[in-house]
């Protein structure tokens, strides 16, 4: 049995790794070339239509959920309305070409999974953003102005020091090696090194979650009897809840989670797999930890509750319609 | 003290060596569908680049005597342990799924619904291959095309593929592989009924099965082994109990239609199976998997 577990474990990791590498590379490119100010300018107005725009930002800003919390925090600090920033945070890791590309590869015979993920993720992110916007009003949700979690501090400073960054837990960075920030236009070489440095750090950060996720998924496949899972999967509500719980616990990168979701496709219903695919990128253990470091606990609990209710309701409606 | 930077360099070095080694040795195919190989090549190249980058950074750092070790981040075990667990398991070189693990896979008998969806793409690819090429690619799938009536194939393609203008290509789309034959029995039974086929696979049993039956199966991979399901068909050879579960056999038999009680569904269903069978025990095939090609 251990050998069977090992085969499944390795195959999941190997399958997802290239997509995770590609995702971290794209994320690093954006980190270097796209400024938060640019996004803040386009989302800062607060008009209702901006929710729809925020939900589509992942198309030009394809970042996985591993890197999105610090960006969302920065957007709020830049003055983007909270609801729109939340929609942005929830939609970007789903409605983005990298994630949909990997989903397409993971479900080659089920294009409906790609469309379902994109559409439900988009609708869900907007709904959650609007609900949270109404609930939060003018409440302050940030812990303080100098919270621990930050994205790369050098980001878009138009500086040239960043090749020396170290990435560590939760995408916080050490700037100890950087020395003074030289606010000059960076050279192509320094930009290239910055991209490589970001990718190098980020891949290790998120890769361990992939490995842990693959470990749990392979364990379930190997050691949990099919009959037991089948009994759960026969109940549509229970199977959706189980898959949402699994997405939360596994904490997979959205660029690789489709491959793990596809391993449950033969056991669980498509809608419950869809629940896994939209709930996981919106909230999981690692994002909860990152959110808790930057935002007030009451806000985090409320956000998780709304995400849970909306994702559950959407997938349940889809399962009833199908 | 080992720093995070050093351990990161070690992780990238081992990871790039392992991924490259798996690719070069062909072991990647023990775990993944062949269509995923291009992504593995990308990963190997990118990991080598990251390895070189980290080594250069590390060497520069070591040479720079002015930097203080106090500013170095300490090794974080929660980062190290998952990666070294992965390395250890890869180095153990696991390559087969046990019979117990196969029990946890979904069983697809005949109604391998993907075959309907995949048909156009599958045929497009098959058109480019000669039967010999297909046979050499799918080791052990020794379907004898001379036993088929080509006019049936033409009719089949006219109906299913709707391609009536390209008869030469249609001739080449004769199914010669395990998956093509097993799904073809259900998709286009008129082509197969009464014909003799040769199939190689493993013996698969579930608890509910009676002693006189088993499934002749192969693991069907969509992306990776983790998502594999068992594709196959029921057979009832005379001395079924002589063949151990998970052992590999070559079965030659005539395709017949019948009604059978299926323990999985607790109902009688029309199935296609083999009759007048000759069974031979064989070694496990070098590549035990079957794939849809697209």
Q: What are the tens digits of pLDDT across the range B213-265?
A: 888 888 888 778 877 778 888 888 888 888 888 889 988 888 888 777 766 66
Can you give the pLDDT at residue B16? 94
Residue A284 to residue A252: CA distance in whole angstroms? 8
- State whether B229 and A266 contact (CB < 8 Å): yes
The nearest CA of chain A is from the CA of B146 a distance in Å of: 32
Contact residues, chain A, for B34 at CB < 8 Å: none
The nearest CA of chain A is from the CA of B42 a distance in Å of: 7
Residue B103 to residue B111: CA distance in whole angstroms? 19
Contact residues, chain B, for A168 at CB < 8 Å: 4, 73, 76
Instruction: Tell the burial category of A201 from Cβ atoms under 10 Å away from its Cβ (0-12, 13-18, 19+).
Output: buried
Greatest CA separation found in chain A? 63
Higher pLDDT, A276 or B100: A276
Residue A65 to residue B253: CA distance in whole angstroms? 54
SS3 A116: helix
Residue A89 to residue A73: CA distance in whole angstroms? 9
Measured CA distances, A286 to A66, A247, A249, B79, B89 (Å): 8, 11, 9, 14, 25
Residue A254 to residue A297: CA distance in whole angstroms? 24
Higher pLDDT, A282 or B142: A282
- State whether B4 and A197 contact (CB < 8 Å): no
User: Is residue B2 pLDDT above 90, yes or no?
Assistant: no
Can you give the pLDDT at residue B70? 54
The nearest CA of chain B is from the CA of A137 a distance in Å of: 39
B42 near A CB under 8 A: yes
End-to-end CA distance of chain A: 37
Measured CA distances, A203 to A24, A189, B196, B270 (Å): 6, 21, 53, 52
Contact residues, chain B, for A176 at CB < 8 Å: 71
- State whether A14 and B31 contact (CB < 8 Å): yes
Can you give the pLDDT at residue B139? 45
Can you give the pLDDT at residue B95? 75
Instruction: List the 182-241 stretch of B: residues with Cβ below 8 A of A.
Output: 222-227, 229
Whether the CB-CB separation of A250 and A282 falls below 8 Å is answered with: no
The nearest CA of chain A is from the CA of B250 a distance in Å of: 24
Can you give the pLDDT at residue A315? 93
Listed range (A26-35, A301-310, B3-12, B172-181) with the worst mean pLDDT: B172-181
Most confident of A100-114, B43-57, B187-201, B228-242: B43-57
3-state helix, strand, coil in chain B (%, to 5): 45, 20, 30
Collect the ranges in chain A with pLDDT lower than 50.
147-182
For A198, nearest residue in chain B (alpha carbons)? B50
Nearest to A267 among B19, B28, B106 (CB): B106
Query: Over the range A72-84, which residues count as b (16 or more CB within 10 Å of their CB) and which as e?
Result: bbbbbeeebbbbb
Nearest to B103 among A3, A9, A226 (CB): A226
Number of Cβ within 10 Å of residue B273's Cβ equals 21
The nearest CA of chain B is from the CA of A111 a distance in Å of: 11
Residue B125 to residue B133: CA distance in whole angstroms? 12
User: Is residue B159 pLDDT above 60, yes or no?
Assistant: no
- The per-residue pLDDT of chain B, averaged, comes to 72
> Global pTM?
0.70
The nearest CA of chain A is from the CA of B84 a distance in Å of: 10
SS3 A95: coil
Report the DSSP pairing between strands B229-235 and A166-167.
unpaired
- State whether B227 and A263 contact (CB < 8 Å): yes
| Percent with pLDDT over 70 in chain B | 68
Reported as half-sphere exposure (CB side, CA atoms, 13 A), residue A160 has a value of: 9
Choose from A66, A204, A253, A286 for mutation: most chain B CBs within 10 A. A204
Which helix (H) or strand (E) segment holds residue B284: the answer is none
Secondary structure letter of residue A162 according to DSSP? G
* Band of residue B165 on the pLDDT scale cut at 50, 70, 90: very low
List helix spans (H) across chain A.
Answer: 2-33, 36-43, 49-55, 68-77, 82-91, 97-106, 111-136, 188-223, 226-233, 236-250, 257-263, 270-282, 285-294, 297-321
Instruction: List the 109-168 stretch of B: residues with Cβ below 8 A of A.
Output: 114, 117-118
Choose from B225, B293, B294 for mutation: most chain A CBs within 10 A. B225
User: Is residue B108 pLDDT above 70, yes or no?
Assistant: no
- State whether B28 and A14 contact (CB < 8 Å): yes
Higher pLDDT, B39 or B177: B39
């Amino acid at each position: 049995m251990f050998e069977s577990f090992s085969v499944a474990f390795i195959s999941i990791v190997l399958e997802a790794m290239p997509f995770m590498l590609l995702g971290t590379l794209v994320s690093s490119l954006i980190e270097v070339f796209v400024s938060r100010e640019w996004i803040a300018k386009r989302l800062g107005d607060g008009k209702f239509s901006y929710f729809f725009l925020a939900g589509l930002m992942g198309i030009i800003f394809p970042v996985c959920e591993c890197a999105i919390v610090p960006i969302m925090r920065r957007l709020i600090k830049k003055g983007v309305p909270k609801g729109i920033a939340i929609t942005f945070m929830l939609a970007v890791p789903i409605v983005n070409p990298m994630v949909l590309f990997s989903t397409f590869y993971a479900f080659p015979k089920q294009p409906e999974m790609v469309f379902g993920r994109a559409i439900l993720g988009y609708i869900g992110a907007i709904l959650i953003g609007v609900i949270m916007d109404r609930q939060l009003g003018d409440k302050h949700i940030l812990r303080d102005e100098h919270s621990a979690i930050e994205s790369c501090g050098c980001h878009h400073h138009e500086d040239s020091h960043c090749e020396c960054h170290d990435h560590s837990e939760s995408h916080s960075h050490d700037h100890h090696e950087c020395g003074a920030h030289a606010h000059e236009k960076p050279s192509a070489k320094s930009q290239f090194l910055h991209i490589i440095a970001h990718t190098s750090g980020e891949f290790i950060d998120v890769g361990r979650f992939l490995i842990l996720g693959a470990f749990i998924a392979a364990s379930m496949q190997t050691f949990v009897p099919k009959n037991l899972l089948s009994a759960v999967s026969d109940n549509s509500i229970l199977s959706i809840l189980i898959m949402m719980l699994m997405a939360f616990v596994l904490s997979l990168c959205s660029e690789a989670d489709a491959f793990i979701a596809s391993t449950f496709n033969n056991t669980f219903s498509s809608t419950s797999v869809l629940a896994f695919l939209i709930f996981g990128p919106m909230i999981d253990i690692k994002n909860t930890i990152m959110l808790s470091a930057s935002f007030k606990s009451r806000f985090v609990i409320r956000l998780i509750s709304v995400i849970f209710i909306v994702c559950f309701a959407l997938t349940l409606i889809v399962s009833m319609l199908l | 003290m080992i720093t995070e930077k050093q351990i990161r360099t070690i992780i990238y070095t081992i990871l790039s060596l392992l991924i490259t080694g798996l690719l070069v040795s062909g072991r990647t195919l023990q775990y993944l569908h062949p269509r995923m190989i291009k992504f593995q090549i990308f990963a190997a190249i990118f990991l080598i680049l990251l390895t070189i980058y980290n080594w250069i950074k590390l060497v520069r750092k070591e040479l720079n005597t002015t930097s203080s070790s106090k500013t170095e981040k300490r090794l974080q075990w929660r980062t190290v342990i998952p990666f070294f667990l992965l390395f250890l398991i890869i180095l153990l070189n696991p390559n087969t799924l046990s019979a117990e693990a196969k029990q946890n896979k979904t069983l697809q008998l005949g109604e391998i619904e993907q075959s309907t969806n995949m048909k156009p793409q599958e045929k497009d690819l098959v058109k480019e291959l000669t039967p010999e090429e297909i046979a050499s690619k799918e080791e052990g799938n020794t379907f004898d095309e001379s036993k088929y009536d080509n006019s049936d194939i033409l009719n089949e393609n006219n109906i299913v593929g709707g391609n009536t203008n390209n008869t030469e290509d249609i001739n080449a789309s004769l199914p010669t592989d395990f998956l093509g034959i097993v799904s073809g029995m259900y998709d286009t039974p008129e082509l197969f009924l009464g014909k003799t086929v040769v199939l190689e696979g493993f013996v698969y049993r579930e608890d509910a099965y009676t002693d006189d039956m088993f499934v002749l199966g192969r693991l069907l991979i969509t992306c990776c082994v983790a998502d594999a399901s068992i594709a196959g068909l029921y057979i009832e050879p005379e001395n079924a109990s002589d063949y151990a579960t998970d052992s590999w056999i070559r079965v030659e038999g005539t395709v017949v239609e019948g009604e059978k009680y299926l323990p999985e569904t607790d109902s009688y269903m029309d199935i296609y199976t083999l009759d007048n069978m000759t069974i031979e025990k064989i070694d496990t095939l070098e590549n035990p998997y079957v794939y849809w090609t697209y």
